[in-house]
């Protein structure tokens, strides 16, 4: 007899309806699954941890799946940590958009027999690693910030909201200098987030590539660019504001000073997400973001 699936539950109690959704699921899952651990979204530290440094990762490695109750932000916050344990994430949407949170509680219950058999569609998504170094150096001893990113890493001008000047290099070769309101470095998963709003391209989530998109550049010629996933990107702050920040997935931030070096490259671990088999990614793109909708022609009365 196959053993019960071992689950880690993650909850975002700031969202209305999460407690009720978890209670409903736990009643259903009684005698059908083993709940190994339960976390609030805020419980795990947002750092570049190694397995040996994290007791949480050791616990999560005992599990088969992480089930996140919340919205897309809850999944992103969780995934930055559980990816270290190579733990597939199942998103239960109790939020608004639910682009990554593909299941309702009812759909998860219907899907549970597949979960018990271990016969589930799992997507492997690339992540980014961001490190910030001080005083123009790119050495470990000068590191002041480190985080993994699911969606994107972006630099924003901040107070007093003057345009900033950045220099970008790829694999040690100068790419561009720009005077701008900021810069977005995005994964394919994040291409439908801030990158899309800033005019960047939509990438298939299974592609391994990195998108670099300026935010309101002071030049018509600086367009978004897609580069190889194995590239190492370095961004140098030539002229920044007092409030200029670098942000990870819009959730973790660090002040950026003049001469700081931001190094971005592909994260060693991947973000594993369980797909809802009743939906395709293109269905989600169309239904959630109204992508490629036909024009709404005016109906004319018969004459």
Which sequence positions are flagged as catalytic?
A: 72
Question: What residues contact 11, with CB distance under 8 A and at least 6 apart?
Answer: 18, 19, 22, 38, 39, 40, 41, 68, 69, 70
> CA nearest 88: which of 110, 119, 52?
119
Task: Tell me how far apart the alpha carbons of residues 35 and 118 are, in angstroms, rounded to a whole number.
Answer: 16
Please, is 9 exposed, middle or buried when counting C-beta atoms within 10 Å of its C-beta (0-12, 13-18, 19+)?
buried
Task: Tell me how far apart the alpha carbons of residues 57 and 45 are, in angstroms, rounded to a whole number.
Answer: 11
DSSP label at residue 103: B
For 133, the 3-state DSSP assignment is strand
Please, is 207 exposed, middle or buried when counting C-beta atoms within 10 Å of its C-beta (0-12, 13-18, 19+)?
middle
| Cα dist from 99 to 40, 66, 79, 169, 201, whole Å | 21, 17, 14, 32, 17
For residue 255, what are its two tokens? 């002040």
Number of residues that make up the chain: 303
């Amino acid at each position: 007899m196959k053993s019960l699936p071992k689950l880690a539950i993650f909850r975002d109690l700031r969202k209305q309806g999460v407690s009720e959704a978890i209670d409903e699921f736990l009643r259903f899952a009684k005698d059908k699954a083993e709940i190994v651990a339960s976390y609030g979204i805020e419980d795990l530290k947002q750092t570049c941890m190694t397995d040996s440094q994290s007791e949480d990762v050791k616990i999560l490695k005992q599990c088969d799946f992480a089930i996140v109750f919340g919205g897309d932000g809850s999944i992103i916050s969780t995934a930055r940590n559980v990816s270290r344990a190579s733990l597939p994430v199942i998103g239960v949407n109790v939020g608004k958009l639910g682009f990554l949170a593909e299941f309702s509680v009812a759909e998860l219950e219907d899907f549970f027999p597949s979960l018990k058999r271990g016969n589930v569609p799992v997507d492997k998504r690339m992540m980014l690693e961001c490190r910030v170094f001080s005083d123009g150096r790119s050495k470990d001893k000068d590191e002041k910030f480190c985080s993994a990113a699911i969606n994107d890493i972006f630099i924003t001008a901040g107070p007093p909201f003057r345009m900033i000047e950045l220099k970008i290099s790829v694999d040690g070769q100068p790419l561009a200098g720009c005077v701008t309101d900021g810069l977005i470095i995005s994964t394919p998963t994040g291409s439908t987030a801030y990158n899309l709003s800033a005019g960047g391209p939509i990438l298939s989530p299974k592609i391994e590539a990195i998108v670099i998109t300026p935010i309101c550049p002071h030049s018509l010629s600086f367009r978004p660019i897609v580069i190889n996933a194995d590239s190492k990107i370095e961004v140098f702050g030539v002229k920044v504001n007092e409030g200029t920040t670098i942000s990870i997935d819009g959730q973790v931030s660090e002040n950026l000073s003049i001469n700081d070096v931001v190094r971005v490259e592909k994260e060693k671990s991947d973000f594993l997400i369980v797909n809802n088999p009743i939906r395709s990614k293109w269905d989600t793109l169309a239904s959630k973001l109204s992508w490629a909708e036909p024009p709404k022609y005016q109906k004319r009365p018969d004459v």
